[in-house]
Amino acid sequence: MSSGRKCSTDGAVVDAQMHIYHFFWQKKLLPDQLVLLLELLFAVKSLSSRTLQWLQKHYCLREQDAEVRHRWCELVIKHKHTVAYGDLLIFLEQDQAMGVYLYGELMVNEDAKQQQLVHSQFKTKQQDYAGLKIINAGLFKYWQLLRELASIANLHSC
């Protein structure tokens, strides 16, 4: 494995096998440390599928607490890591209140496969009224916030 950054001429592609990798490589991390690592990696524009698979296996991300799994799911969505879409569906099922933001991200990305996940999850939730109520309330608040941010951005652009 290489340890340096690989950047294209425009800097858009960054391989996650970077110096931070070496810092976290052999350490058993506490949940808060894992959250920090995943947040740092979220800032990286592009992570390879191989890197994401390594992270999942090395840190047993499926078995971590909800905060860690939420950050893992954000990476899965951002990088369209289809291998881990099962992890995403499990999170949306088991942690419905925290999953509301992820539903919004899945829809905003305008990725057909991700939107299909949302629609299939909504169909499943139609039998679970309580879960559907939580998701709908959260999505409504999320879309309200997006509209407010868009109107603020329009005011500042004039």
Q: What is the mean pLDDT of residues 127-155?
A: 69
Average pLDDT of the segment spanning 91-105: 85
The SS3 assignment for 59 reads: coil
Is the same domain home to 71 and 109? no
Same structural domain, 137 and 101: yes
Q: Using alpha carbons, select from 49, 47, 53, 59 the residue that is nearest to residue 18.
A: 47
Tokens 């810092």 correspond to what residue?
A: 23
Mean pLDDT of the chain: 78
Q: Please write the tens of the pLDDT for every residue from 35-65.
A: 999 999 999 999 999 999 999 999 999 999 9
Q: Which of 63-67, 71-75, 89-93, 102-106 has the lowest mean pLDDT?
A: 102-106
- Domain boundary among the residues 71, 94, 117 is at 94
